Amino acid sequence: MADSFSLRNVLENFKSCLSDNKEVYVKYYISGWRELVSFMNSLGSVFSFISKDAVSKIQILENFLMGENGTHYLTVQSMVKYELDNELVDLTKRGSHPESGCRTLLRLHRALRWLQLFLESLRTSTEDSKTSVMCSEAYNASLAQHHPWIIRKAAGVAFCALPGRDAFFEVMNAGSHQEVITLLGEALPLISEVYQITEDLYAKNKLLDLP
Ligand code: 1PX
C-alpha cells in the first residue's frame, strides 16, 4: 500500500485485478479496497464506522488468502468454486459459515457498484455539483437497498460531511481537475468490468442474496 492516497493507485490495482482469462484476483481486489479505505480515512473520523466495516471485510478475505487453503482463494472464481464444492457458504440463512469468502466479498462487490456510480457522477459533474448529493444518489441506487434504516441514516449523516467538489478533486491527488477527470475515465471501464464479471459469476451461482 502506498504511503499516501492517489487515485492512480486505485486504478493500478483494478487494472491488475483481471487475469488473462478474465478471472478476478482477490489480492488486487482487496488492495484496491485498502487504497479506497485509506482515502476515506483521510476525510475524517465521521467515516470511521464505514472504514471499520470495510477493513474487517478486507481482513477476512486476506486471512483466507494467506491461510492454509489460500490457493483456492487466488481468484473470485476459484473461491466461489471451492467454497460451494465444500459447502462452506451459508446459502439461505446464517449458520455455521457466517463469514464465508463468498458472502464477505459480496458486501464489497455491492459497494463497488456504489463506487462506480459515484465516480461516474464525479467525472461528469460540473462546478456547482455537490459531492454529498452525488454520493447519496449513488448510495440510494445501490448499497442502500441492502442496508437497514439505521445504517442508511448514519450513512446520510456521513455524506453531509464530505468535502466539496474542489477539495475532493484535490484529495484524489492525481493532478489538475482535468487530469483527475481523464484518470476517472480510464479507471471506470476497469472498475465496471471487474464489477460485471463478479456480478455474472454470482448470478450464475445464485449467490446474489447471501445472508
Ligand atoms: C476516489 C474516491 C472514492 C471514495 C472511496 C470511498 C471508499 C468507500 C468504501 C466503502 C466501503 C463500504 C463497505 C460496506 C459493506 C457493507 O455494506 N456492510 C454492511 C453489511 O455488512 P454485514 O456483514 O452486516 O452483512 C454493514 O452493515 C455496513 C456498515 C457500515 C456502513 C456502510 C455505509 C456505506 C456507505 C458507502 C459510501 C461511502 C462513502 C464514502 C465517501 C467517500
CATH code of the domain in which 67 resides: 1.10.3520.10
Residue 192 confidence (pLDDT): 97
* Mutate which of 4, 40, 58, 105 for ligand 1 pocket (most atoms within 8 A of beta carbon): 40
More confident residue, 35 or 6: 35
Residue 182's domain comprises: 7-204
Regarding the beta carbon of 64 and ligand 1, being less than 6 Å apart is answered: no
The gap from C-alpha 186 to its chain's centroid, in whole angstroms, comes to 17
- Among residues 124, 200, 195, the alpha carbon closest in space to that of 165 is found at 124
Q: Judge whether 99 lies within some domain.
A: yes
Is there a domain that residue 183 lies in?
Answer: yes
pLDDT band at 4 (very low <50, low <70, confident <90, very high): confident
Q: What is the pLDDT of residue 55?
A: 98
d(CA 132, CA 156): 9
Write out pLDDT tens, residues 10-55: 999 999 999 999 999 999 999 999 999 999 998 889 899 999 999 9
Q: Cell 480515512 appears where?
A: 41
Q: Is 122 in the pocket of ligand 1 (CB under 6 A)?
A: no
Residue 138 Cα: closest atom of ligand 1: 37
| Number of domains present in the structure of the chain | 1
Has residue 49 been placed in a domain?
A: yes
Question: Is 62 among the domain residues?
Answer: yes
Q: Which residues are CB-neighbours of 97 under 8 A, at least 6 positions away? A: 88, 89, 90, 103
The least confident of 113-117, 126-130, 155-159, 169-173 is 169-173
Q: Is residue 210 part of a domain?
A: no
Say if 79 falls within a structural domain. yes
Left (φ > 0), alpha (ψ -120 to 50) or beta: where does 65 sit? Answer: alpha
> Which amino acid is residue 57, in one-letter code?
K
Instruction: Tell me how far the alpha carbon of residue 111 lies from the centroid of ligand 1, in angstroms.
Output: 6
Q: Complex ipTM, two decimals? A: 0.97
Structural domain contains residue 84: yes
User: Quick one: pLDDT at residue 3?
Assistant: 53
Ligand 1 within 6 A of CB of 187:
no
Task: Establish if 1 belongs to a structural domain.
Answer: no
Distances (CA, A) of 29 to 18, 56, 165, 171: 9, 15, 27, 22
